[in-house]
Structure 1
Amino acid sequence: MRIKTADIPRQEVMTKDNISILANAVVYFKVEKPDTAIVKIEDFEYAVRQYTQTALRDVVGNSELDFVLTEREKIADDIKKIVDSETSAWGVDIESIKIQEIELPAEMKRAIAKQAEAEREKRAVIITSEGELKASENLRKAAENLAKSPIAVQLRTLQTIRDIASDPSEKIVLYLPSDIAGIVKKLGKE
């Protein structure tokens, strides 16, 4: 016999962690023994839908929201096992159940969005702090190198003065050490 489908309408379901969601599904089934299905139950299609709807509420009700959102296939498989265990006695075989949609309340969507934003901000802070740590390590190494060579510090001072003086719109008054002329002479000889 051919596989039939039955839509399980959207229904409000409460998860184990008391969060109300809307869920709907579709069930694919096949009548293996038509004579048994007719004799054992009045309307097997209606019964399959009702059992699936009830099993959906039971399985989701025993699961936390994170599990429901991430493990749809497992939820659907658990529902299939429950429904199939009942319907097999009627001669009806459940081929599969697919959860079509899980909709969260608006406030829950906002809370999840806030959580995701907080996670992104956390990662950004971590990346920034790692960059600042590397920069401070580089500055420390540069300071150590400059400390090893006093002439390098003075050369750096002269480079800074030259950079500042290159902008004609700036007027800067600098106090230079008295030995700056001697440094310039030394650098000129080298």
Structure 2
Amino acid sequence: MWLPGLFIIILVVFFLASAIRILNEYERGVIFRLGRVLGSPKGPGLIILIPIIDKMVKVSLRTVVLDVPPQDVITRDNVSIKVNAVVYFRVIEPMKAIIDVENFLYATSQLSQTTLRSVLGQAELDDLLSHREKINERLQEILDTHTEPWGIKVSNVEVKNVDLPQEMQRAIARQAEAERERRAKVIGAEGEYQAATRLSEASDILSKNPMALQLRYLQTLIEISTEKNSTIVFPIPIDLIKVFTEKLTK
């Protein structure tokens, strides 16, 4: 007598387990009924399906962080490098992401790798090292254009690491060192020029006022006298002995 009741309970449990789905706030469900898409994506909340007839595919709307593995790239100036990147994207149209592409994660990953090689192959090494933001924007624009038919929005692309050959690293180090030496010489020459300019201006001022020259001379003597020198040799200004020479000549 209890077997029919047990069978009914098992059927009810099976029905509930197959029919009831709960989707989180960040999830949407694309429902297929006998192979056909049933309306718009469902969720979030409680979803009731017809067992065996309905099939639901869940899609997450959260941002996906896709790590692009290192790619061998030859730049426009024929430098062989290894570059990896990270791509940030999210599904904005779940129905397109399920119907229009077989596996949108795999498709986006493969597209990111080919686009990375293509864009960096058109750039020179100096641009890649010094203008990375522009390259990131270019990658994001291309990927977003190609993934839009899949209902995917690429929000950001970042080139992470650029691995250079050892000989190229040494060449860049020598170039940086030469640039620092050039800047040091330019700064030193600029300092010498400014010092010479100031000395020229000071000499012009002293030549117009002989008393200022004598005061500067006396100030120099005071500075020398404060030092611990056993012998001091200094020139005598002609103006100080001019009076005596004139009397001797008379």
State the TM-score, normalizing by the size of structure 2: 0.56
Paired positions, count: 182
Q: Which amino acid in 2 is paired with 1:37?
A: A
Hey, which of these two has a bigger chunk of helix by percent?
1
Which whole-Å CA distance do the structure 1 matches of 2:91 and 2:144 have between them? 12
1:117 aligns with 2:177: yes
Q: Which amino acid in 2 is paired with 1:19?
A: V
1:88 aligns with 2:139: no
RCO higher in structure (CA 8 A, sep ≥6): 1
Bigger radius of gyration among the two: 2
CA pair 22-137 structure 1, distance change in 2 beyond 3 A: same
Deviation at 1:24, TM superposition (A): 1.0
Deviation at 1:183, TM superposition (A): 7.8
List runs of 5+ in structure 2 lacking aligned partners. 1-60, 234-239
2:134: which partner in 1?
Answer: 74
CA pair 90-119 structure 1, distance change in 2 beyond 3 A: same
1:32 aligns with 2:120: no
Which whole-Å CA distance do the structure 1 matches of 2:197 and 2:144 have between them? 65
List runs of 5+ in structure 1 lacking aligned partners. 173-179
1:60: which partner in 2?
Answer: 120
Deviation at 1:33, TM superposition (A): 2.9
Give the secondary structure class of the aligned counterpart of 1:2: coil
Which residue of the other structure, out of 94, 105, 111, is the alignment partner of 1:51? 111
Q: CA offsets per residue over residues 11-49 of structure 1, 9 Å max, x none?
A: 221211112222111112222333332333222111101
Give the secondary structure class of the aligned counterpart of 1:18: coil
Which whole-Å CA distance do the structure 2 matches of 1:71 and 1:14 have between them? 17
Which residue of the other structure, out of 56, 66, 78, is the alignment partner of 1:6? 66
Which whole-Å CA distance do the structure 2 matches of 1:79 and 1:117 have between them? 32
Q: Which amino acid in 2 is paired with 1:128?
A: G
